[in-house]
Structures are given as structure tokens and as C-alpha cells.
Amino acid sequence: MLKYADFVNGVEEKPVEVDPYTGDELDERVLGVQDRMKLSRRMKRFQHRIQRKRKIQMRRKADPSRLIRRARKGSRADMKKRVSGGKSYKKMSMGMKKMIDTKLETKAKKNLITRFTKRKVKEKRKLDIARKK
């Protein structure tokens, strides 16, 4: 949330992690417990809208930016699994998720994610084409 001084100085508020309308990632920052709970409530409120939009998008051919987003999401998931030692990210506590997210924020991990993303774009394109057939 912006403070009054930030508003006067022209500082813009950082976007939340997930766009409530499309379900796409907007920001990959580390979320605290309160942020996660707030995001959870927001996603619960918009879940039907997100599912409907996702279903519509899945019928269309994915444009390059969407493929890159999907590849980045997949490579981040792979890195989370690698950092956590193969444990399921969904079953972890909020503290463990925060710890893993902070580990992914290091420069080395970001570079690895970028490299994996470039490799995964081709794989995601094949999956998109296969789904259309």
C-alpha cells in the first residue's frame, strides 16, 4: 500500500504476484505471510473469472509472449522443486515457501531460470500445438 509521501513523490505501487483477471504472474517478489493470505483471499474471490479466462485462452493459439510466460512459470516451478529437495511446493508452510522464494531471488538462480526459460519455450510451443489437434 502506498503512503502519502510516496504518492506525492510519484512512486508507483508494485503489482501483486498474480493478475486477478487472467491468473498470470505479474511480479516475482517474495511474499510475506500477510501478503500470501491477502493474495489467497483475492484469488478465492476471482477464481471463477480466472478459470473462465484460462479456458478461453486455452482455445486460442498462444502468442510468443504468452509462451514465454508459461515457460518462465514452468522453469520457476522446476527451480522451486530443485531448491526444496524435491518436496511439493503446495504442501509447504508459508515460512518454507518464503524461504524458497528468497533463495530464488539470488542472481545465480535468476540467471538459471532465464536459461531454462529459453529452453522451455520450444517445449511449451509443442504442447500448445498438440493441444490444438
Of 107, 89, 108, nearest to 99 by C-alpha is: 89
- Identify whether 123 is part of a domain: yes
Residue range 23-63, pLDDT digits in tens: 655 556 778 888 889 989 999 999 999 999 988 988 888 89
pLDDT at 15 > cutoff 50: no
Query: Do 112 and 126 belong together in one domain?
Result: yes
Query: Do 50 and 110 belong together in one domain?
Result: no
Query: Do 70 and 126 belong together in one domain?
Result: yes
Rounded to an integer, what distance in angstroms lies between the CA atom of residue 7 and that of residue 13?
9
Query: Do 55 and 66 belong together in one domain?
Result: no
Residue range 64-82, pLDDT digits in tens: 999 999 999 999 999 999 9
* Enclosing domain of residue 33: 13-60
Query: pTM of the prediction?
Result: 0.64
- Identify whether 115 is part of a domain: yes
Classify residue 52 as exposed, middle or buried by CB count within 10 Å of its CB (0-12, 13-18, 19+).
exposed
One-letter identity of residue 35: D
- Identify whether 86 is part of a domain: yes
